[in-house]
Chain A
Amino acid sequence: MSPRHHPSADILASYATGTLDPGFGLVVGVHVGSCAKCRAQVSAFEATSGAALNDLPQAQLASGALAQTLARLDQIRFRPVAPDTRPLLERLPLEPKRWVAPGVWVAAVNTPRSAEDRVYVLSVGKSALTARHEHSGAEFCVVLKGAYRDELGVFAAGDFAFADSDVNHQPVVEGDQDCICLFATEGRLKPHGLIGRLAFELADV
Chain B
Amino acid sequence: MIQQVEQPLIEIHDLTVTYHRKPVLWGIDFTLPKGIIAGIMGPNGAGKSTLIKAMMGLVPVGSGYVKLFGEDLKEVRAKVSYVPQKESVDWDFPASALDVVLMGRYGKLKWFQRPRKADRDVAMDCLKKVGMEAFANRQISQLSGGQQQRVFIARSLAQDADLYLMDEPFAGVDIATETAIVELLKEMTSEGKTVVVVHHDLQSAENYFDWLVLMNLRLVASGPIKEVMTKELLQETYGGKLNILTTVTDLLNKQDFPIREK
Bound pair: A and B?
Answer: no
Query: A-contacting residues of B (Cβ < 8 Å)?
Result: none
Query: B-contacting residues of A (Cβ < 8 Å)?
Result: none
